[in-house]
Structure 1
Amino acid sequence: MELKTVTDNYKYCNSLTNYSRRKTIPVRVGDLFIGGDNPIVVQSMTTVDTMDTKGSIEQSIRMIESGCQLVRITAPSIKEAENLRKIKEGLRQRGYQTPLVADIHFTPNAAEVAAKIVEKVRVNPGNYADKKKFEVLAYTDASYQAELERIRERFLPLVKICKEHGTAMRIGTNHGSLSDRIMSRYGDTPLGMVESALEFLRICEDENYHDIVISMKSSNTQVMVQAYRLLVQKLDEGGFKPYPLHLGVTEAGDGEDGRVKSAVGIGALLEDGLGDTVRVSLTEDPEFESPVVKTLIERYNHRPELSGIPPVEDCPIDPFSYNKRKSEEVVNFGGANVPRVITDVSVIDGMQPKELKNTGHFYLPELDKWKMNDQGCDYIYSGKEPIPFMLPNGIKEILDHDSWKDHSDRKNKFPALSLDQLKSNPELHPSLNFLNLSCEEISTAIPLLSNALPVVILLSTDKAHQMQALRRAFISLLQAEINLPVVPKVKYTDADAEKTMLFAATDVGGLLIDGLGDGIMIGMDRLAMANREKALLQIKLHNSVSFGVLQAARTRMSKTEYISCPSCGRTLFDLQETTAMIRKRTDHLKGVKIGIMGCIVNGPGEMADADYGYVGSGKGKITLYKGKEVVKRSVPSERAVDELIDIIKQDGQWIEPEVSDHH
């Protein structure tokens, strides 16, 4: 990352160091307002077939009871759009006034019907007026203009209906379904995503229609964050109104992976005050989505606006493209190394070999050997008490400096010291030392640091504005041209498992997306750890969340990635069951990305990132992809997973799973 001043680069947010929400116009959706000074709105989407009126009503009620304030329902054709009336009436009769959103993709006529019934419609610019054929098209300015006129003709009737009926609209760009026209001019880029939305927005503004919310979704968290930031910048530059933003990461998956991936993208934007309504897309029943959104956004309800963190005058980070911070290589930190995972086990006294499995490494007593794992930590921080047995080759131990100094094996263990200890000119390890540094000490520390020191900084803060404090410290190091590797060390006192996942993903993931950080460490809370079993479970959680955050930020692939959509009324098979089945048979293929899509709407384009794809194409029929290419059509679903594995085998990407004792 060359050091340059890009002061204008963070016009996308009010402040990089305080919590300050972007001011937007309020958009009315039924009795609800999105944006303005209103709280962030929680939304989700039904998965039942839209023609199943009773099922849709019951599921909507379960969603509303779980905290959902806005219910989205797919309307792939006119008959579903018309059935939204029955669903709405059924909900009103049961006493639920929650506004409904119709989700429209390829069918302008369905959108026009739905806009007269529900409070909001969502259109996807990439496939509202365009058919996607993955063709590269050459345009002159005149022929491009003619295409824009064609889009205007298709889109104008909907704008007029929305204006007449007081219906709000979301212009929802999806990274995976950009039109061939946009792809041909802008490529598969955040700028292409923004331009795709602005084309539709200009038509709305020409008609003096402003009840609009905008989204820039992608299953790649880096692309998603860059696109939203760029959108805000372009809205300001282009003299548009400051429209509210709907945040979401598409196809995040399920379980811990889905939560971590969603929080990396959504959390990074919330930290900078962006986002007025949020949906977390999990491959789970929709009533499980809203509580996750609530946990993410409630963090900001009580956060003071002023943080006391020094402001950033000249920002050396480009927020619109990924550039990794340049760092010296210290053993296997920094330089071209992947980010490292340090797992804190310092609360456990007298650790047993079998307990090390909580750090991702397995001891096989019958063979008296260790089974190393792609999600086993690189370093163990044991604090004052050294681990009482020989660690497997490949894991290194970090001890507090005083304990290290008295240890017989100072060559294979590494010291962690404080700034005060560093000032007193202590004995150091010749190749690797860890410096515990709080963000608040950074200006005192900089004069004592040099790029020649064999030091990795463990950077932490006690501030509520954890991510902003860490980012500010990184900026100070960049400005001082201190290129030592830095590992953010975060800690969440009294946080349950879900909060730990979501907060670590927000705070460290948000930094990694901007190229900041050479690892991750989630600290343990000694006071809260009186119970050994609980402590071991927490160590296990911290270790797996650490790998999940690195994977979700696209900085270290340690497991198979599933780009799976959250299911909806268009889905042509049981998505949760299928995802679980595919995961069971392929989750040992490290770094392979498999897209699992319920239907073609989020199909090959939304899987633009995936190596292989499994897409519903009819009842009981599956189309299999390699990249964007169809390899097999209409495969019966009972054979489809086997055939998917055959394609992976033919491609030379398959490895046989090891039979080990931990699966």
Structure 2
Amino acid sequence: MQTLPNPKTATATAPEFDTTIHRRKTRPVRVGDVIIGGGYPVVVQSMINEDTLDIDGSVAGIRRLHEIGCEIVRVTVPSMAHAKALAEIKEKLAKTYKPVPLVADVHHNGMKIALEVAQHVDKVRINPGLYVFEKPKSDRLEYTQGEFDEIGDKIRETLKPLVLSLKEQNKAMRIGVNHGSLAERMLFSYGDTPQGMVESALEFLKICESLDFRNLVISMKASRVPVMLAAYRLMVKRMDELGMDYPLHLGVTEAGDGEYGRIKSTAGIATLLADGIGDTIRVSLTEAPEKEIPVCYSILQALGMRKTMVEYVACPSCGRTLFNLEDVLHKVREATKHLTGLDIAVMGCIVNGPGEMADADYGYVGKQAGYIALYRGRDEIKRVPEDQGVEELINLIKADGRWVEP
């Protein structure tokens, strides 16, 4: 007769019930004073939308992002003038605020631009599909091996000076592949597929490794979540086969705005993080860049990878609820949202309350009409009239020395 597992110990002993996220081991890559990979916390990134030629506007935009928790900020450098402007931006940041880890985006035959901007930023992002731009031929039917290799040689020739510059300065590079901008020969060889994305990245990775440069971060972004997931998973598989351990930058590109943009980004980013894949993230919204940062932290907090805000546990309400749960949760949140590192539960009744909120630091539970019970962990501390509930919850947190003024 088969012995049934003990439910009290099964979750602690059976690997299939392991609730810990085991992150893929990656090499540490330094970007300014931040380290991506190597077991360090997942890094939050965003990108300013100011014109880089606007020195004051760019400095202000970078500072706004950094002050709310963005750890690495990206800027675009479409011309040599933009690249040179970054020298002034970096200098002004240091004088008026503090140094901020900066990444420069380089596109379209950008070797000269990349070499200039590499002097002023901590990481250069290149897009393999655009770095050596191939003008498509409308009548092309195939790529010969000779044509394929000729372009590969040109890529190496144009990439080598940048790699050597970054290597000498101990700076980093992101090889950022986008599904929507694969090079023509990759499309001919592999189609518009995750495999094409992976092979595009590997071509650049191998050039960097041949020059003994490994301060590399990889991204495989797509605007469709299933494509993005497949590309990152295949990239991990191929890197594992090749003995590579580069950290990954996660993102769903062009996710849009509003609720759907947030859901779409979360679906892609959180799915991979839960599998242990990913070392830095950017949520790409068609909104002010500052709106991206709370989404990043919410994803990380929901997965237990960062603790940057209060975690609220609240039941969905039902006929047993003894007070206006939505209204009370709003009041509790408004009173405590500035705190960090706490779990606070707001439960409508005694049926599920104490059990469902067992892991919370503090609980607010409806037990009888007009009164609520306040809990510290599993222990009921006091019952108070409902109209005093939020005030007494604050007093309890203060009594424990865990309150800070807003």
1:139: how far off? 1.9
Secondary structure of 1:213's aligned partner: strand
User: Is the CA contact 1:116–1:167 (under 8 Å) kept in the aligned structure 2?
Assistant: no
User: Is the CA contact 1:186–1:192 (under 8 Å) kept in the aligned structure 2?
Assistant: yes
User: Is the CA contact 2:194–2:230 (under 8 Å) kept in the aligned structure 1?
Assistant: yes
- For residues 69-124 of structure 1, the C-alpha deviation after alignment (integer angstroms, 9 at most, x for no partner) is 00100000110011011111111112322210001111221111111111000000
Q: Does 1:56 align with 2:58?
A: yes
Secondary structure of 1:48's aligned partner: coil
Alpha-carbon distance between aligned partners in 2 of 1:208 and 1:67, rounded to the nearest angstrom: 33
Instruction: Tell me which residue corresponds to 1:33.
Output: 35
Distance change in 2, residues 1:533/1:66 (3 Å): closer
Instruction: Tell me which residue corresponds to 1:531.
Output: 324
Alpha-carbon distance between aligned partners in 2 of 1:121 and 1:529, rounded to the nearest angstrom: 57
Secondary structure of 2:168's aligned partner: helix
Secondary structure of 2:219's aligned partner: strand
Alpha-carbon distance between aligned partners in 1 of 2:49 and 2:114, rounded to the nearest angstrom: 19
What is the aligned counterpart of 2:197 among 177, 193, 200? Answer: 193
Distance change in 2, residues 1:263/1:302 (3 Å): closer
User: Is the CA contact 2:194–2:231 (under 8 Å) kept in the aligned structure 1?
Assistant: yes
Alpha-carbon distance between aligned partners in 2 of 1:50 and 1:137, rounded to the nearest angstrom: 40
Alignment length (residue pairs): 307
Paired AA for residue 36 in structure 1: G
Instruction: Tell me which residue corresponds to 1:100.
Output: 102
What is the aligned counterpart of 1:19 among 18, 21, 24? Answer: 21
Secondary structure of 1:36's aligned partner: coil
Alignment of 1:118-157 (within 5 A): 118-131=121-134, 133=136, 135=138, 136-157=140-161
- For residues 349-381 of structure 1, the C-alpha deviation after alignment (integer angstroms, 9 at most, x for no partner) is xxxxxxxxxxxxxxxxxxxxxxxxxxxxxxxxx
- Measured on the aligned residues, the alpha-carbon RMSD in Å equals 2.4
- For residues 397-416 of structure 1, the C-alpha deviation after alignment (integer angstroms, 9 at most, x for no partner) is xxxxxxxxxxxxxxxxxxxx
User: Is the CA contact 1:251–1:282 (under 8 Å) kept in the aligned structure 2?
Assistant: yes
Secondary structure of 2:313's aligned partner: coil
What is the aligned counterpart of 1:68 among 67, 70, 76? Answer: 70
Structure 1 stretches lacking a partner, 5+ long: 1-13, 304-491, 496-522, 538-663
Distance change in 2, residues 1:203/1:99 (3 Å): same
1:134: how far off? 7.2
Q: Does 1:264 align with 2:56?
A: no
User: Is the CA contact 2:50–2:61 (under 8 Å) kept in the aligned structure 1?
Assistant: yes
Secondary structure of 1:256's aligned partner: helix
User: Is the CA contact 1:112–1:158 (under 8 Å) kept in the aligned structure 2?
Assistant: yes
Q: Which one is further off, 208-217 or 161-170?
A: 161-170
Alpha-carbon distance between aligned partners in 2 of 1:253 and 1:168, rounded to the nearest angstrom: 29
Secondary structure of 2:40's aligned partner: coil
Instruction: Tell me which residue corresponds to 2:45.
Output: 43
Instruction: Tell me which residue corresponds to 1:224.
Output: 228
1:524: how far off? 2.9
Secondary structure of 1:21's aligned partner: coil
Alpha-carbon distance between aligned partners in 2 of 1:103 and 1:15, rounded to the nearest angstrom: 41
Instruction: Tell me which residue corresponds to 2:82.
Output: 80
Alpha-carbon distance between aligned partners in 2 of 1:195 and 1:131, rounded to the nearest angstrom: 17
Alpha-carbon distance between aligned partners in 1 of 2:152 and 2:205, rounded to the nearest angstrom: 12
- Once the two structures are aligned, what percentage of the paired residues are identical? 50
1:40: how far off? 0.5
Alpha-carbon distance between aligned partners in 1 of 2:302 and 2:326, rounded to the nearest angstrom: 28
What is the aligned counterpart of 2:213 among 209, 214, 222? Answer: 209
1:16: how far off? 9.4
User: Is the CA contact 2:317–2:325 (under 8 Å) kept in the aligned structure 1?
Assistant: no
User: Is the CA contact 1:70–1:101 (under 8 Å) kept in the aligned structure 2?
Assistant: yes
Instruction: Tell me which residue corresponds to 1:619.
Output: none
Secondary structure of 2:56's aligned partner: helix
Instruction: Tell me which residue corresponds to 1:342.
Output: none
Paired AA for residue 186 in structure 2: I
Paired AA for residue 271 in structure 2: A
1:224: how far off? 0.2
Secondary structure of 1:494's aligned partner: strand
Instruction: Tell me which residue corresponds to 2:313.
Output: 494
Distance change in 2, residues 1:529/1:493 (3 Å): farther
Alpha-carbon distance between aligned partners in 2 of 1:165 and 1:134, rounded to the nearest angstrom: 39
User: Is the CA contact 2:52–2:82 (under 8 Å) kept in the aligned structure 1?
Assistant: yes
Alignment of 1:166-565 (within 5 A): 166-239=170-243, 241-301=244-304, 494=313, 524-526=316-318, 530-531=323-324
Instruction: Tell me which residue corresponds to 2:112.
Output: 109
Alpha-carbon distance between aligned partners in 2 of 1:15 and 1:194, rounded to the nearest angstrom: 30
1:212: how far off? 0.3
Distance change in 2, residues 1:15/1:140 (3 Å): farther
Alpha-carbon distance between aligned partners in 2 of 1:177 and 1:40, rounded to the nearest angstrom: 27
Of the two structures, which has the highest relative contact order with CA contacts closer than 8 Å and spacing of 6 or more?
A: 1
Runs of 4+ residues over 6 Å off in structure 1: none
Distance change in 2, residues 1:75/1:57 (3 Å): same
Alpha-carbon distance between aligned partners in 2 of 1:528 and 1:259, rounded to the nearest angstrom: 30
Alpha-carbon distance between aligned partners in 2 of 1:108 and 1:45, rounded to the nearest angstrom: 22
User: Is the CA contact 2:52–2:76 (under 8 Å) kept in the aligned structure 1?
Assistant: yes
Distance change in 2, residues 1:185/1:113 (3 Å): same
Alpha-carbon distance between aligned partners in 1 of 2:99 and 2:141, rounded to the nearest angstrom: 46
Structure 2 stretches lacking a partner, 5+ long: 1-14, 331-406
Paired AA for residue 207 in structure 1: L
Alpha-carbon distance between aligned partners in 1 of 2:137 and 2:226, rounded to the nearest angstrom: 23
User: Is the CA contact 1:66–1:290 (under 8 Å) kept in the aligned structure 2?
Assistant: yes
- For residues 208-265 of structure 1, the C-alpha deviation after alignment (integer angstroms, 9 at most, x for no partner) is 00000000000000000000000000011123x2100000000111111110010011
User: Is the CA contact 1:235–1:242 (under 8 Å) kept in the aligned structure 2?
Assistant: yes
User: Is the CA contact 1:125–1:197 (under 8 Å) kept in the aligned structure 2?
Assistant: yes
1:301: how far off? 3.7
Paired AA for residue 46 in structure 1: I
Secondary structure of 1:173's aligned partner: strand
Paired AA for residue 206 in structure 1: S
User: Is the CA contact 2:128–2:177 (under 8 Å) kept in the aligned structure 1?
Assistant: yes
- For residues 552-602 of structure 1, the C-alpha deviation after alignment (integer angstroms, 9 at most, x for no partner) is xxxxxxxxxxxxxxxxxxxxxxxxxxxxxxxxxxxxxxxxxxxxxxxxxxx
User: Is the CA contact 2:255–2:285 (under 8 Å) kept in the aligned structure 1?
Assistant: yes
Paired AA for residue 211 in structure 2: E
